[in-house]
Amino acid sequence: MRTLVVFLFFLICSEFYSQTTVDLDILIGKSQNNLVGDSIKLETSTHKAYKKMEAAAKRDGVFLKIVSAHRDYERQKLIWNKKYEKFTNEFSLEPKKAISEIIRFSTIPGTSRHHWGTDIDIIDANFPNEENVLVSEKFEKNGLFFKVKSWLDKNSEYFGFYLAYTNDKKRKGFEFEPWHYSYKPVSAKYYRALIKTDLKKIIKSLNINGSEYFDQSFIEAYIVENIMDINPDLK
Ligand SMILES: [Zn+2]
């Protein structure tokens, strides 16, 4: 009897542990598990939910297309370094100014929600040759992706997908991204796990372009504004 009680106790504890913790390397994009897909990779449950949403949209004559899903640390580092080079060399911005320009839309590698495979950027599949698709105006009335956007506004949350960077004027951090949806049932768990880690130390130890300019106050503001000031429904 006693053995059984002890066994059940450990079973409950390990179940609780697995529900509340996520491997650090997965959170920061340095390792992956549960991903499906080839060029577009999604976390398993996110993939299932997305397929349901995609089919429902199709029945309504709306054709969804994911342009970006899981992105690993190295890929995000490449994006970051390229932008930093461009902003400091081509546009001659001071390093700190370049960094504040980059973080209007792009994350510091290791802190991207795209590392999780739960977050996706969605456009309309009817415009395969359109360039520069992730532009807010294209999702507004009279924009190319307005039809998709209106459908998502009405239906995405039913399938578990919530906007991460909303149009709330009081929200700080990343600008409004009408295309960026997050699968809440999994990403909320990842989010809670990420903010429990020593994010300051993680960001401080990064070796990327311009990281020598990440001082204490910058890092603190980045965590509070860019990582934590998201749609409250996703927390
Ligand atoms: Zn995105």
Say what the pTM is. 0.90
3 CA from centroid of ligand 1 (Å):
49
Give the residue-averaged pLDDT of 43-66.
98
Instruction: Kindly give the distance from the C-alpha atom of residue 68 to the centroid of ligand 1, in angstroms, as a whole number.
Output: 7
The answer to whether residue 77 scores a pLDDT higher than 90 is yes
CA of 137 to the centre of ligand 1 (A): 16
For each of the domains in the chain, give its residue range(s) and CATH number, in order of start: 23-229 (3.30.1380.10)
164 Cα to the center of ligand 1, angstroms = 9
User: How close is the Cα of 70 to the center of ligand 1, in Å?
Assistant: 9
pLDDT recorded at residue 33: 85
Tens digits of residue pLDDT in 118-157: 999 999 999 999 999 999 999 999 999 999 999 999 999 9
| Interval 189-198 mean pLDDT | 97
- How many angstroms separate the alpha carbon of residue 132 from the centre of ligand 1? 14
Phi–psi pair at 101, nearest 5 degrees: -70, -45
Q: Crossing angle for the helix pair 95-102 and 73-85, nearest 10 degrees?
A: 130
CA 67 / ligand 1 centre spacing (Å): 9
Q: How confident is the model at residue 20 (pLDDT cuts 50, 70, 90)?
A: low
